[in-house]
Structure 1
Amino acid sequence: MSTTIRLPRPDDWHLHLRDGAMMRAVLPETARDFARAIIMPNLVPPVVTGAQAAAYRDRILEALPAGMVFEPLMTLYLTEDTDPDDLAAAHASGLITAVKLYPAGATTNSASGVRDFAKVRPVLDRMAEIGCPLCVHGEVTDPDVDIFDREAVFIDRVLDPIRRATPGLRVVMEHITTADGVAYVQSAESGLGATITTHHLIINRNHILVDGIKPHYYCLPVAKREDHRLALRKAATGGDARFFLGTDSAPHTDSNKLSACGCAGCFTAPNSLPILAQVFEEDGALDRLEGFVARHGAAFYGLPVNSGSITLSKSDPTPTPTHINTDDGPVTVFDPGFDLSWRVVR
């Protein structure tokens, strides 16, 4: 059994860095291990224009600690007022890598998202024309739909009609949580990929609700039944290039998590790679970890594999770090529920 793994520097294809003090605190946790990340645009106010994306990228690079090498891959937040020409110019210049679709009200800071999908049809057509990928938060927000069914209903009501109407559009289903999502991606011949988070490979809905509510396991999309978790693990560890890592690492201060209306999100940036090594080892798939974290996503986005490398080493189990401090307050690190036998060697 191998006790070390050498990988190309990984990518995170779905990351929340926030802004200000929070960004300055959490950015090093990603940049330490990951060479690139798709940066989510759901700030307040959201990143909706090329100029705003450029300004946000500059703030990220200014906050990067000396000696760290990291490339933020910027996105625009799709709204019903998005200017197709501004989007196309931002994409042509290399400023943005993708555009993010949030159904209005689906998750944190999504109030500016799309309510009437017909209104964004011209933008989606333009994106298909220029080859700009669409990253989707795949949940409907209809109050009549059970929260555990939102992903499956989104596929039927929203995503499949969008892809049929715009067949050249490249789409990433972000943070899939169901066997339905896995099957839909596998049904596509081309143009469709999906990210899978670290935490959805570990937890199911029982982890959130049994023996007391666990706020630090609450995320959106919410974790589902065990059979869905197992479908995600099979997809992630199976070597299918349509599935790749997007941690959806989403930091919130403890005061915002531990409240009467706690925020959704798991902060997994500090320990994602050791957790993933353990998951892939348990599933007899350590040889496929490199594809999931370093190759599949790059291929989907048409980017080169990173030239640098990292090494993971196996040793005696060690406790998971519990939190990081920010000027806004402490942020609890995702606890996988077991000590980690793998660590990144720097």
Structure 2
Amino acid sequence: MTKTLTIRRPDDWHLHLRDGDMLRAVLPHTSRDFARAIIMPNLVPPVVTGDDARAYRDRIMAALPADHDFTPLMTLYLTENTDPDDVAAAHADGLIAAVKLYPAGATTNSASGVTDFTRVAPVLERMAQIGLPLCTHGEVTDPEIDIFDREAVFIDRVLDPMRRNHPGLRVVMEHITTSNAVDYVKAHDTGLAATITTHHLVINRNHILAGGIRPHYYCLPVAKRETHRLALRAAATSGDPRFFLGTDSAPHTDANKLLPCGCAGCFTAPNTLPILAEVFEQENALDRLEGFTSLNGPAFYGLPANDATLTLVRETPEIPAQIDTPEGPVTVFDPGMPLNWTV
């Protein structure tokens, strides 16, 4: 039985840090273990220009513990008024690593997102020319489409036509939740990848709804049927370089999660690596954990893998049920299974 596992230091290719007091409270839970992270731009107001990204990066670095080595990889929030020249300049300066597409109304703080995709065509074309990836929240927001079908419909209605119209565009399908998305990635050899979250490898929709509503498992995209969860596990543990970790760790205070219309998101930063080690061991794929967490993402983004290493040991981790923040307690995602690995 394997008792220790040393991997290159991992990266998180989809992370919410929020701002202000919440940023200062949650950042150390990522920067302790992860060397880099793609930072989501859906603040209020959103991070839409290079100047916005620079200012947000400065706030993140000011909140970083002095003994932590961490690099935030900034993104811009795509709107119908985004300036292609500003995007290209921010990319040329090394300020941003991607642009984020939110269909308007799809998730938390997405009201400024895209409604008419023809209006962002000039930005997408410029991104294709300069090799800047587009990160997509892959759901349609048509109220006639069932919430459990929104990812599959997005692929057919939005993603596939967009990629055909901009054939050089590099795309990351973020936080995929369906076998449809897994199959779509597998069908395309170049320019397309997908992130998979920690929690979508663990929960299906029964965990949210069966036996009572569990708001701390509610996220967007919402967890799907068990068949989809198993497809995600197979993809994550397969060694296929097109799939890599993006936790979508999303802190909300308990007060905001437990409202009659509660916020979507699972806070997984404190326990992602112990959970992933458990999942990969269950799938007899511990030897592939490093690829998923530390190698595949940098390869897609054209960055070197981290030189530093991290060691997991077979030991029950001490994970708090909540973390305290000045805004109120934030519940840590409960995987609902014993964890046998600690960093």
Hey, what's the Cα distance between the residues in 1 that align with 2:28 and 2:136? 26
TM-score using structure 1 length: 0.98
Where does 1:150-165 land on structure 2 (aligned, <5 Å)? 150-165=150-165
How many residues were matched structurally? 343
Letter in 2 for 1:260: P
Answer whether contact 1:319 1:339 (CA < 8 A) is retained: no
> Could you say which residue in structure 2 is the equivalent of 1:332?
331
How many Å apart are 1:339 and its aligned residue?
A: 2.2
How many Å apart are 1:318 and its aligned residue?
A: 4.9
Letter in 1 for 2:153: V
Letter in 2 for 1:194: A
How many Å apart are 1:176 and its aligned residue?
A: 0.1
Hey, what's the Cα distance between the residues in 2 that align with 1:320 and 1:72? 24
Runs of 4+ in structure 1 deviating by more than 4 angstroms, as ranges, are none
How many Å apart are 1:15 and its aligned residue?
A: 0.1
Hey, what's the Cα distance between the residues in 2 that align with 1:318 and 1:305? 26
> Could you say which residue in structure 1 is the equivalent of 2:23?
23
Q: Secondary structure of the equivalent of 2:73? A: strand
Hey, what's the Cα distance between the residues in 2 that align with 1:292 and 1:178? 18
Q: Secondary structure of the equivalent of 1:340? A: coil
Answer whether contact 1:197 1:245 (CA < 8 A) is retained: yes
> Could you say which residue in structure 2 is the equivalent of 1:205?
205
Where does 1:276-315 land on structure 2 (aligned, <5 Å)? 276-315=276-315
> Could you say which residue in structure 1 is the equivalent of 2:2?
2
Q: Is residue 261 of structure 1 aligned with residue 275 of structure 2?
A: no
Where does 1:221-260 land on structure 2 (aligned, <5 Å)? 221-260=221-260
Hey, what's the Cα distance between the residues in 1 that align with 2:208 and 2:319? 19
Letter in 2 for 1:340: L
Answer whether contact 1:77 1:99 (CA < 8 A) is retained: yes
Identity of aligned residues (%): 74
Hey, what's the Cα distance between the residues in 1 that align with 2:129 and 2:319? 46
> Could you say which residue in structure 2 is the equivalent of 1:216?
216
How many Å apart are 1:319 and its aligned residue?
A: 6.1
> Could you say which residue in structure 2 is the equivalent of 1:50?
50
Hey, what's the Cα distance between the residues in 2 that align with 1:211 and 1:22? 32
Letter in 2 for 1:119: R
Q: Which ranges of structure 2 fall in alignment gaps of 5 or more residues?
A: none
Residue deviations 1:41-90 (CA, integer Å, cap 9, x gap): 00000000000000000000000011111000000000000000000000
> Could you say which residue in structure 2 is the equivalent of 1:91?
91
How many Å apart are 1:10 and its aligned residue?
A: 0.1
Hey, what's the Cα distance between the residues in 2 that align with 1:24 and 1:320? 19
Where does 1:86-165 land on structure 2 (aligned, <5 Å)? 86-165=86-165
Answer whether contact 2:270 2:319 (CA < 8 A) is retained: no
Hey, what's the Cα distance between the residues in 1 that align with 2:174 and 2:186? 14
Hey, what's the Cα distance between the residues in 2 that align with 1:41 and 1:131? 20
> Could you say which residue in structure 1 is the equivalent of 2:13?
13
> Could you say which residue in structure 2 is the equivalent of 1:341?
340
Q: Which ranges of structure 1 fall in alignment gaps of 5 or more residues?
A: none
Answer whether contact 1:320 1:340 (CA < 8 A) is retained: no
Hey, what's the Cα distance between the residues in 1 that align with 2:129 and 2:217? 39
Hey, what's the Cα distance between the residues in 1 that align with 2:56 and 2:11? 19
How many Å apart are 1:320 and its aligned residue?
A: 3.9
Letter in 2 for 1:37: A
Answer whether contact 1:205 1:222 (CA < 8 A) is retained: yes
Answer whether contact 2:218 2:266 (CA < 8 A) is retained: yes
Hey, what's the Cα distance between the residues in 2 that align with 1:3 and 1:97? 36
Letter in 2 for 1:171: V
Answer whether contact 2:274 2:317 (CA < 8 A) is retained: no
How many Å apart are 1:321 and its aligned residue?
A: 2.0
Hey, what's the Cα distance between the residues in 1 that align with 2:143 and 2:247? 27
Hey, what's the Cα distance between the residues in 2 that align with 1:277 and 1:284? 10
Hey, what's the Cα distance between the residues in 2 that align with 1:119 and 1:204? 36
Q: Secondary structure of the equivalent of 2:284? A: coil
How many Å apart are 1:194 and its aligned residue?
A: 0.1
Answer whether contact 1:319 1:340 (CA < 8 A) is retained: no
Hey, what's the Cα distance between the residues in 1 that align with 2:336 and 2:318? 10
